[in-house]
Each structure stands twice: as structure tokens, then as C-alpha cells.
Structure 1
Amino acid sequence: MSRVVRVSREELMRMISILGEIESRRLDPFSVDVSSLLARLREIIERERDVETISLDAETLYRVSVVLGLQQRWIRERASSLFIDAGMVYSKIIGSDPKSLVAALLQAWRPIVRLEQVSVDLLLRGYQHFLSRPTRGSAGLEGAQLAVGKPGAYAAIESQISRELGELLAELSSMGSWVRYWDFINMGSDKRVRAYLLSYLISRGEADVRINSLTGEIWVKAAEKVSEEPRTTSLAVTIG
């Protein structure tokens, strides 16, 4: 027996052993490259025509058919149960072009957070809500009802808010450079009002905000130029 024939038979027996292990131990049927294995079988059978090599080649082909059946069953079971594992996702992503990936992202993306900015309309609606709530004393309730019922009440409130916003912006501009958020808030008597008005200035681009990611410090300053682009970030600060 020539050395070439002996090597070919040993290779066929290794193939049979590997394929048999996949079948008996129920290993991943896709762990073997069937197309490369079949190509190698063809090379061997075209070169060696003796009976024993042909018999081993036939046994290997049988084992390949069994593995192909296992692959088919594996795909069918995963599809029927709608199971998706990391391997399937990875292969799908690798096989897709960038445009398809972008289209899939746009179709599936559902943002769980939306940006809400403070506006004069929201301020007025909140003010109206609190005025409509019952108070502990009847005098306060009557005063609230009278305030709501006045024709120019909302216009006066809007004018007052605009004036306070302008005053706060002028105060921030007088600081010149960046100032710590809490230092600026604590300069006034009513910290909550200052924080609320400052958040409105930030939301409409009249004030800039910067956060030190290492220390957590927040810095603010008056914007040098008001941008017409909408704000793409939001900032939440706990007060009191």
C-alpha cells in the first residue's frame, strides 16, 4: 500500500469520526464546513479508486448526509420557536449591507425617553392648575378664582415671567465667564424660582451649561450667541 493511499484512508476515517461525534453527542452541526469536506472527498475519490477507499468515501458521504439532516432540523426548530441566539444575529449582521442595517434600525427604534422643554405655555398651564386647586381657606380660594377669571390675568403673568427671565439672564451675563450652577442659584432668596427660570433659559439656548463628568460639577454662563438649533440634551437637577 502506497503512502498516499494510507494517508487518504486515515483522513477519511478522521472525517467519519468527527461526523459521528456530531451525531452521537449532539454537538453543533454547523461546526463542520460541509462544502470544504465534500470538495476534499471528491479529490480523494478521483485520485484513489481502490475498494477500501471507495467504501470509506461512501461511509463519509453517509455521515455528511446525517449532519446535513441535523442542520436542517436545527434551523427548523429555531424558526418554529422564534429563537434567536448570538450566532444567528452575528451572521445576519455580517451578511447585511450598511443601508439595510440603517433601515432596520429606523424601523425598530422606539425611543423610551423624549425631550420636554420648559415653555411659557407650560408655565401658564401649571400656574392655572395650581390656582384651580382647593386651598385651606376660603379667602385664598376666592382670590384664586378671581385671578383666573380676570381677562388680562394670563397676559400679566406672561409679562412678569418674561421680565424675570430677562433680569436673570442679565445677571448671568454680568458674571462674564462660567459660574458654578449652585453658586448662581444660591445668590437669590428663592432658589427654586431661579432654578426654574434658569432651566428655561438653558432650554431655549440663551444660557449654556457644562458638566464635569469626573466631579459632577455643573457650570453655566450666558450664551454668546443664541442658536436656532433645538437642544438635543436635557439636564435634571434635584432641588431641595
Structure 2
Amino acid sequence: MEESERVQKILKIVEMLNTVIGSNLDPFKVDVKEHVLKLKELLPDLKDLDEILMDAEALRLLARIVELQEKWVRYQASSLYVNPLLVELKIVTSSPEKLAETFARSWHPIVKIEQLT
């Protein structure tokens, strides 16, 4: 593989990663494993320092993408978590009528029995 072809492949990866990082796109759109495998495939053919530095830059950007993915997962996980003490406080401070209304709105029985009289 020619030097210019190797450089072009690495530059393409770097530009794409910079675009994702710079424009706040979904970091999960990046197939990190695929790009790592591409860089791994190119690594034995890298000859001069500039190529190796570009490869290192691509790896750094991939690590940044993984960091952004981690932040997104942490944010989503924290937004799903509800403190049990807050739930208990809400129940204790609610009136029986409000609790009954909330229960009735959220209750969805799986079987319906009709009575004929």
C-alpha cells in the first residue's frame, strides 16, 4: 500500500471523528471497533513519524468518542434513577384521594371480568 493511500485512510478517519466530536453528533454512530481494526491493519505499514503521529491522533480521537459514549450512558442512567427517599416522601405527603387517583390511572389489569346480573 502506498504512503499516500495510508495517509488518506487515516486522514479520513480523523476528519470523521473530528466532525462527530465538534458538532455534538451521536457518538454511538461511530463504529469504534471497525476504526480500531482499520488502524491496526495499517499500523505495520506505517513508515515515517508523520504517519505514526496521525495514527496516534486517530486513536486519541477514538478514545474521545468512547469517553463521549460513556458520558451519554451515565447521563441516561442517572436520569432513570429515582431516589427511593423522594418517592417515599411524595407518598407520605400525598392525600389518600390523590394516591387513589394515581393508582386508578396507572392500574391496567390484564384480565377483565364482567358481571351479568
Q: TM-score, normalised by structure 1?
A: 0.36
Tell me which residue corresponds to 1:33: 31
CA distance in 2, matches of 1:14, 1:111: 55
Segment drifting more, 17-26 vs 3-12: 3-12
RMSD value over aligned CA atoms?
2.1
Q: CA deviation at 1:45?
A: 1.0
Cα distance between partner residues in 2 of 1:9 and 1:64: 17
Following superposition of structure 1 onto structure 2, how do residues 32-51 of structure 1 map, counting pairs within 5 Å?
32-51=30-49
- For the residue of structure 2 that corresponds to 1:81, the secondary structure is helix
Query: Which residue, 31, 36, 54 being the options, matches 1:56?
Result: 54
User: Which deviations, in whole Å up to 9, do the C-alpha atoms of 1:141-164 show, x marking residues without a partner?
Assistant: xxxxxxxxxxxxxxxxxxxxxxxx
Question: How far 1:8 moved relative to its partner?
Answer: 1.1
Task: Give the counterpart letter for 2:54 in structure 1.
Answer: L
* Number of equivalences: 92
Q: Name the one with the larger strand percent.
A: 1
Q: Which letter does structure 1 place at the counterpart of 2:75?
A: E
Partner amino acid, structure 2, of 1:11: K
1:219-234 → structure 2 map (5 Å cutoff): none
With CA pairs under 8 Å and 6+ residues apart, which has the higher RCO, 1 or 2? 2
The structure richer in helix per residue is 2
* Residue 229 of structure 1: aligned partner: none
Structure 2: which 5+ residue stretches go unaligned?
A: 82-107
Runs of 4+ displaced beyond 3 Å:
none
Alignment of 1:65 with 2:63, yes or no, is yes
Separation in 1 of the partners of 2:25 and 2:32? Answer: 15
TM-score by length of 2: 0.71
Identity %: 32
- Structure possessing the higher radius of gyration over alpha carbons: 1
Shift of 1:115: 2.4
Unaligned stretches of 5+ residues in structure 1: 84-109, 124-240
Deviation of 1:111 after TM superposition, in Å, equals: 2.8
Query: What is the alpha-carbon distance in structure 2 between the residues aligned to residue 111 and residue 49 of structure 1?
Result: 69
- For 1:82, the aligned partner's letter is L
Amino acid corresponding to residue 49 of structure 1 in structure 2: K
CA distance in 1, matches of 2:69, 2:27: 6
1:112 Cα offset (Å)? 6.2
